[in-house]
Amino acid sequence: MAADGAPTRLAQGTRTKGGIGESTLRPDGTLKVTGEFAYASDMWHEDMLWGQILRSTVAHAEIVSIDTSEALAQAGVYAVMTYDDLPTDVRHGLEIQDTPVLAHGRVRHHGEPVAVVAADHPETARRAAAKIKVEYRELPVVTDEASATAPDAIVVHENRTDHHAAHVPHPNIVHRQPIVRGDADGAARRADVLVTGDYFFGMQDQAFLGPESGLAVPAEDGGVDLYIATQWLHADLRQIAPVLGLPEEKVRMTLSGVGGAFGGREDLSMQIHACLLALRTGKPVKIVYNRFESFFGHVHRHPARLHYEHGATRDGKLTHMKCRIVLDGGAYASSSPAVVGNAASLSAGPYVIDDVDIEALALYSNNPPCGAMRGFGAVQACFAYEAQMDKLAKELGMDPVEFRGINAMEQGTIMPTGQPVDSQAPVAELLRRVKARPMPPERQWESSEGTDVRQLPGGLSNTTHGEGVVRGVGYAVGIKNVGFSEGFDDYSTAKVRVEVVGGEPVATVHTAMAEVGQGGVTVHAQIVRTELGVGQVTIQPADTRVGSAGSTSASRQTYVTGGAVKNACELVREKILDLGRRRFGTHHPAWATAELLLEGGKVVTDGGEVLADLADVLGDEAIEVEEEWRHRPTEPFDRRTGQGNGHVQYSFAAHRAVVEVDTELGLVKVVELACAQDVGKALNPLSVLGQIQGGTVQGLGIAVMEEIVVDPETAKVKNPSFTDYLLPTILDTPTIPVDVLELADDHAPYGLRGVGEAPTLSSTPAVLAAIRDATGLALDRTPVRPEHLTGTA
Amino acid sequence: MDFLRPAGWEEALAAKAEHPTAVPIAGGTDVMVEINSDRRRPEYLMDLNRVGDLLEWEVGEDSVRLGASVPYTRIMENLRAELPGLALASHTVASPQIRNRGGVGGNLGTASPAGDAHPVLLAAGAEVEVESVRGKRLIPIDAFYTGVKRNALEPDELIRAVRVKKADGPQQFSKVGTRNAMVIAVCAFGLALHPGSRTVRTGIGSAAPTPIRATAAEEFLNAALDEGGFWDNGKIITPAVAKQFAVLCSAACDPIDDVRGTAGYRRHAVGVLARRTLTWTWESYRGARHTTEGAA
Amino acid sequence: MRVNFTVNGRPQEADDVWEGESLLYVLRERLGLPGSKNACEQGECGSCTVRLDGVPVCACLVAAGQVQGREVVTVEGLADFARERAEGRATGARETGGGGTPLDRAGRWQATGHDSQAGEGTGLSPVQQAFIEAGAVQCGFCTPGLLVAADEMLERAPNPSDADIREALSGNLCRCTGYEKILDAVRLAAARRSEGV
């Protein structure tokens, strides 16, 4: 199993209840079901003010003037701030610092923050913001590759100095990553069939339910305490402090309750605005976005245009692949460069293809900024390459699963980047498993009581009683990297303390990991129980008093912060055993000779013999360790060839979608979405299922309904509300049977494999494939809407 | 903003006379959305929840007088037999929470072309009972919708009830949305058979500036049914007739392209819904063992 | 303006309420009951679902002034509400129009099972307990609204089919779970109730 053999030990001795592998319940569960769990938007402070952000009403314009006098004069208003009131002119950004905290002379996208207001009631703040007069001189908008790279294109960011600037073919290209391996043109000559396709992937919103919120409290030392919902406290801190002109130690951050994230909280939203207003007014300032503002307040998933060419021999072997992926990064860089790296390096999918010619790039445009969302670059590619696989299988007259199986990668396969896949890659097995499942019964809407429209396309809207309904089945599989790639120093920090309280050993875990709902807090307690044999574990609130935990993204937290907790526990254990040897070593020879473990609150030998109670060993001493932990290092991709060992670990999931399509109305009911995924080791099986099912449904959403629609003429968002940006309801969601494989990755703690993202990849193309199967239509874009299925687009 | 709380209907009429700009609020499912989203700041909000009359309905000999604030949930639960089309439409309204608050009066007051109740009220031939301190009047539903989100109410009038004839034949309602629940209509269609008068009436939602009837389609179908003796012989409507009816319903639309759907799709879908609802109601009329109620 | 109403069985008074304020704002910001969540303010997510005179509604779409003299149950009061219901004490009777006994009342005052989970005993309602155990809670932001809606559905329909559950909860968006575990939780609560444990 795991490299250090920890799971083997678990099998022996008195196991501590609630360790890894058990579906222990969330420590925050009771608070969350009673309404007591404090989300960022629930915080309240004596004398608190409400902050409101004024956002641009146009996508691209020079700001001619801003008049705040009327807003300032309104009763109840404490402060109005524009760019001119900022303490510094420092910009922020995750990778490239290109984002002004308030617009400076120019707005680059619809909804860009222009001014902030603090007032004693949110309605007062809204009214005051509405009284700020901003005069815009509109500029032409850059909205796609053609308008971005035209000879006379307006440059979205002048005078770039970032580390990609010197290497891009045009200043409106944020980053470009080619990957060339083998000889794609030569290999193409061996192909018996050649399949090309142009695909479009729409802009998806994370749509976490808890809108961006936080509370900034000014401190006596001139600093600020910020209570905030975020994915990565320390990345926020690194960006916030310089903009405020404060040293990092004067910005103290505490994670408050986070209502989902999915990538949308990796960038800053209202953090700096709240701090600015708090420091300006000397009063606590709370900012809570409403849903409308939330659509403008965070980055979205990059929309993408993808061109693919694949070849295969008559016997079903892929010969080569060429692709070009154009991602729209919008007005600011956010994590576009890393998304490009992922899209390029994972563009071939989980297949053996020796000869590839790949190019991925991200644009600067005046569209809404795009960045991290679950699946991060791999999602868009998977949608396209899986459509290609179906086309090839059809061309060859082969079963789509069989065809994929012939080309499926396995351990030892070389990626397009030249990196060998050095752990299990059960791609063919995952597909085999979803295919082997029994099919859901036909015509489930029929019963002795009549027709149940809830089980039909259109649902409660009563559009069909079976007319026009055709079933379709589709398959897809995907590959996602786990953790931060391309040479990033991806580490986490954990502080673990053990002491005796009331006669019982108690452990405390302190990390800066953002618990956004994924259940990291549950897993940390499980790891401590397994490693230290201490039943009672307290999870401290995450804050910046402990070192960085990195981001709650990239399917990495259980791997990296879980790894850090495990590592800290091991160090604590050594210290406890040292203490035990000093105190009791003379009592029993096994203290010196045996392999010693901590289980069930006792020190035991690997033979199961109890040497001492942990409480007696500790006495009144507390053992505490704070330590950073890293996964194995990665390398950057070569700028020209894309070669390099860029990724830490890969994660695989496969789906079979069964849909019923009302072919006349173009309405889709997903009947079942079966998933098989390898998770290496399920530390908490219940949470693993929750991740897989949740990720699957986010993939379903982008397949049939979710899309932020941007007007191509004005670059303005047309549907920033839950009325017109539709998320799947429980009536849109099918049963999701899940098959979990646990094939250990020897490089990872406990052999685990990051879980969260892979199911979001394959879900979308599986649904699309099923709709194609039902309708016979080509369907080269997602989401697919009724008009695309009825020839009325 | 002022909040008016009339304790009864007369008081409400007096308040509306005194403050014609007052915005009535009952279920709040339209008004509060506009206030929360900063799109509307009325001078006066007038709460109608205290006016108990509006929450009641009376089932008479021939018709139902349905209080303006009777929640959709109540209509679904209690008036399925009398007002099957409206009960079906009620079931498609937004979510259970919204159906527990919203009522037909709100739909009529807002007069959005996407309001779910409109097509079935048009198909049933309802009358809107409105009142002011000046008196009461009944507005035929055909004369009620006067423009995009505009209706025939005078500034001092309030909607008291709708009067809908008890169904004398099968009725159906279908609405297209891009989600299987909690969705605003991309387009919608209501159809009612009136065997008593040997007529068919229709209503189309979200496919024109106002809710409309497909009058040419109705006339065509009424004539075709009459000519073929269908009302008497109960034969299956010939596919050619159903198809032509659908074509004429599509032609009655005057839709726009928007973020919810294209004009072309709306026109197409209304045709499909027209054909299907005609088939369902006619099969039901023929006494075939088909479901007349969409939802279980 | 001033608004007096009952929340979770206790009389409450809110002062200086802006006329455009929603019940949700009053609960969260004036009465210190932030359990009901604000995720869309347009009735499209169900996160703010509360019971108003017994009926599940979106608190964001109820004007504060409309609740004068009325009874509200929020997630904070759900456990007590469920306990009182189980003990047969009437709370929050539903308004009726027309005549007769509405369907929802028929299955209403049945005795419910007590919390069967050994070692928990935190006084949660059966639905709350089931949500935790079934893994129906991730970020938890949708949870309060779902609990109020699910509890009310089980009060009306103690043995719902899956389609019934889906319909009853179709006004409550969840972005984390994919809904499967939410279905599991409601099935679990229903099963425990019907077993009388």
A669 contacts in chain B (CB < 8 Å): 180
What φ, ψ does residue A611 adopt, rounded to 5°? Answer: -100, -35
Give the gap in angstroms from C-alpha A668 to the nearest C-alpha of chain C: 17
Helices within A247-399 (DSSP H only)? 271-281, 291-297, 336-345, 378-396
* A729 contact residues in B (CB cutoff 8 A): 179-182
| In contact, A351 and A431? CB cutoff 8 Å | no
The torsion of the CA quartet B145, B147, B152, B156, rounded to 10 degrees, works out to 140
pLDDT at residue number C197 = 52
All CATH 1.10.150.120 domain ranges of chain C, comma separated, are 79-91+108-195
The answer on pLDDT for A3 being more than 70 is: no
Please list every residue in chain A whose beta carbon sits closer than 8 Å to the beta carbon of residue B261. 785-787
Distance from C-alpha of A133 to C-alpha of A136, rounded to nearest angstrom: 10
Which is it for strands A77-81 and A61-67: parallel, antiparallel or unpaired?
unpaired
Domain with CATH 3.10.20.30 in chain C: 3-76
Degrees to nearest 5, angle at CA A445 with A440 and A447: 105
Cβ-based interface (< 8 Å): residues of B facing C: 1-3, 5, 25, 27-29, 31-33, 35-37, 41, 45, 47, 49, 55-57, 67, 70-71, 73-74, 77-78, 94-98, 100-101, 180-182, 295-296
CATH superfamily of A40-139+211-258+265-297: Aldehyde oxidase/xanthine dehydrogenase, a/b hammerhead (3.90.1170.50)
- pLDDT of C9 reads 96
Interface contact C170-A730, CB threshold 8 A: yes
Query: Subunits with at least 3 CB pairs below 8 A relative to chain C?
Result: A, B
Long-range (24+ apart) CB contacts under 8 A made by A435-439 are A435/A401, A435/A475, A435/A656, A437/A656, A437/A674, A437/A737, A437/A739, A439/A473, A439/A658
Task: Please answer whether residues A758 and A480 qualify as being in contact, where contact means their C-beta atoms are separated by less than 8 angstroms.
Answer: yes
Enter the tokens of residue B282: 């006619």
Model confidence pLDDT, tens digit, residues C139-180: 999 999 999 999 999 999 999 999 999 999 999 999 999 999
Mean pLDDT of A752-763: 98
Chain mean position to CA B21: 25
> Rounded mean pLDDT of A458-486?
97
A493 contacts A626 by C-beta, under 8 angstroms? yes
Within 8 A of B262 by CB-CB distance, chain A residues are 787, 792-793
What is the model's pLDDT at position C88? 84
| Residue A502 three-state SS | coil
What per-residue confidence (pLDDT) applies to B109?
97
Residue A639 CA to residue A359 CA, distance in Å, equals 11
For residue A783, the chain B residue with the least C-alpha distance is B178
Report A:265-324 residues touching B (Cβ under 8 A). Answer: 290, 292
**Is the model more confident about B264 or about A594?**
B264
**Phi, psi at residue C149, to the nearest 5°?**
-70, -45
Chain A contact partners (≥3 CB pairs within 8 A): B, C
Q: Where in chain B is the domain with CATH 3.30.43.10?
A: 1-48
Q: Write phi, then psi, for A584 (nearest 5 degrees).
A: -125, 5
Predicted confidence (pLDDT) at residue A389 exceeds the cutoff of 60:
yes
- Domain A422-482+647-789 belongs in CATH node 3.40.50.2300: no
Higher pLDDT, A781 or A2: A781
Chain C residues in contact with A686 (beta carbon < 8 A)? 135, 181
Q: What's the angle, vertex CA B19, arms to CA B13 and CA B22, rounded to 5?
A: 85
The CATH classification of domain B1-48, taken from the options 3.30.43.10, 3.40.50.300, 3.30.360.10, 3.40.50.2300: 3.30.43.10
User: Where do the structural domains in chain A lie, given as residue ranges?
Assistant: 6-37+491-630, 40-139+211-258+265-297, 422-482+647-789
Question: For chain C, give me the number of helices (H) and strands (E)?
Answer: 7, 5
User: What pLDDT score was predicted for residue A8?
Assistant: 31
Rounded to an integer, what is the distance from CA A692 to the centroid of its chain? Answer: 13
Question: What was the pLDDT predicted at A20?
Answer: 97
Return the pLDDT at A14: 56
Q: Sign of torsion, CA A293 A299 A301 A302?
A: positive
What's the Cα-to-Cα distance from C43 to each of A190, A730, C94, rounded to whole Å? 58, 16, 21
Can you name the CATH fold of C79-91+108-195?
Answer: DNA polymerase; domain 1 (1.10.150)
Q: Is the pLDDT of residue C100 over 60?
A: no
C interface test, pick of B19, B32, B57 with most C CB neighbours within 10 Å: B32
What per-residue confidence (pLDDT) applies to C102? 32
**Dihedral angle sign, alpha carbons of residues A723, A725, A729, A731:** positive
Q: How far does A641 lie from chain B, in Å, by closest CA?
A: 42
- Lowest-confidence pick of A197-206, A250-259, A696-705, C87-96: C87-96
Neighbours of B258 (CB within 10 A): 15
pLDDT digits (tens, 9 = 90+) for A143-154: 999 999 999 999
CATH architecture of B171-285: 2-Layer Sandwich (3.30)
Residue ranges, comma separated, of all CATH 3.30.390.50 domains in chain B are 171-285
B287: confidence class by pLDDT, cuts 50, 70, 90: confident
**Per-residue pLDDT, C195:** 79
The residues near A159 (Cβ < 8 Å, ≥ 6 apart) are: none
| pLDDT tens-digit series, residues A491-509 | 999 999 999 999 999 999 9
Confidence of residue B45 (pLDDT cuts 50, 70, 90): very high
Task: Encode pLDDT of B52-103 as tens digits.
Answer: 999 999 999 999 999 999 999 999 999 999 999 999 999 999 999 999 999 9
* Averaged pLDDT of chain C: 85
The HSE-up count of residue C146 (CA atoms within 13 Å, CB side) is 33
Which candidate, A225, A35, A124, places its Cα nearest to that of C28?
A35
Q: For the ranges A215-219, B232-236, C7-11, C166-170, which has the lowest average pLDDT?
A: B232-236
Contact A457, A463 (CB under 8 A): yes
Residues of C in contact with B25 (CB under 8 A): 63, 66
Residue A607 Cα distances to A17, A273, A577, A641, C170, angstroms? 19, 59, 16, 54, 55
Separation CA C11–CA A633 (nearest Å): 61
pLDDT at A403 > cutoff 60: yes
Instruction: Identify whether the C-beta of residue A757 lies closer than 8 Å to the C-beta of residue A677.
Output: no
Task: Kindly list the residues from chain A whose CB atom is less than 8 angstroms away from the CB atom of residue C32.
Answer: 44
Per-residue model confidence (pLDDT) at position B38:
87
Per-residue pLDDT tens digits for B115-128 = 999 999 999 999 99
Strands (E), A395-490: 446-447, 450-451, 469-482
DSSP tally for chain A: helices H, then strands E: 20, 31
* C122 interaction partners in chain A (CB closer than 8 Å): 30
**ipTM of this predicted complex?**
0.96
The confidence score (pLDDT) of residue C194 equals 82
A10 pLDDT band, cuts 50/70/90, is very low
Q: What's the mean pLDDT when you consider all of chain B?
A: 95
Give the residue from chain A lying closest to C135, CA to CA. A686
Residue A78 has pLDDT above 90, yes or no: yes
| pLDDT given at position C64 | 97
Nearest to A265 by CA among A26, A39, A52: A39
Reference C69, options C6, C1, C2, C23; nearest CA is C6
CB C59: neighbour CB atoms within 10 A?
32
**Minimal Cα distance from C177: which residue of A?**
A694
> Would the pLDDT of A13 be above 60?
no
pLDDT of residue A666: 98
Its pTM stands at 0.95
Asked whether this chain's domains A6-37+491-630 and A40-139+211-258+265-297 adopt the same fold, the reply is no
Pick from A451, A465, A726: which is nearest to B178 by CB? A726
Distance (Å, whole) CA A34 – CA C127: 11
Q: Using the predicted structure, report yes or no on whether residue B249 has a pLDDT greater than 70.
A: yes
Average pLDDT of A679-689?
A: 98
- How many beta-carbon pairs under 8 angstroms link A with B? 121
| A171/chain C closest Cα distance in angstroms | 37
Are A465 and B280 a contacting pair, CB within 8 Å? yes
Helix (H, G, I), strand (E, B) or coil at A679: coil
Query: Which residue of B55, B98, B295 is in closest CB contact with C97?
Result: B55
Task: Tell me the per-residue pLDDT of A86-127, one tens digit each, with 9 for 90 and over.
Answer: 999 999 999 999 999 999 999 999 999 999 999 999 999 999
User: What six digits make up the tokens of A662?
Assistant: 């009302």
> Rounded distance, CA B131 to CA B9, Å?
10
Cross-chain CB nearest to B180 (options A451, A459, A709)? A459
Residue A204 has pLDDT above 60, yes or no: yes
Q: Quote the CA–CA distance of A792 and B271 in Å, as a whole number.
A: 13
Q: Closest chain C residue to A688 measured between Cα atoms?
A: C135
**C-beta of residue A755 within 8 angstroms of C-beta of residue A651:** yes
Alpha carbon separation from A280 to A49, A81, A216, A224 (Å, rounded): 12, 9, 11, 11
pLDDT, one tens digit per residue, over C45-71 is 999 999 999 999 999 999 999 999 999
* Contacts with A290 from chain B: Cβ below 8 Å: 36-37
Question: What pLDDT was estimated at residue C96?
Answer: 33
- Rounded CA-CA distance A742/A339 in Å is 28
Chain C closest CA to A516's CA: distance in Å? 6
| Bond prior to A783 in cis (omega within 30° of 0) | yes
> In this structure, are strands A49-55 and A285-288 parallel, antiparallel, or unpaired?
parallel
DSSP label at A632?
A: P
Q: Which fold has domain C3-76?
A: Ubiquitin-like (UB roll) (3.10.20)
On whether the CB atoms of residues A363 and A402 are closer than 8 A, the answer is no
Measured distance CA(B152)–CA(B150) in Å, rounded: 7
CATH 3.40.50.620 for the A6-37+491-630 domain, yes or no: no
Concatenate the DSSP letters of all residues of A174-208 into one string.
EEEEEEEES-HHHHHTT-SEEEEEEEEEPBP----
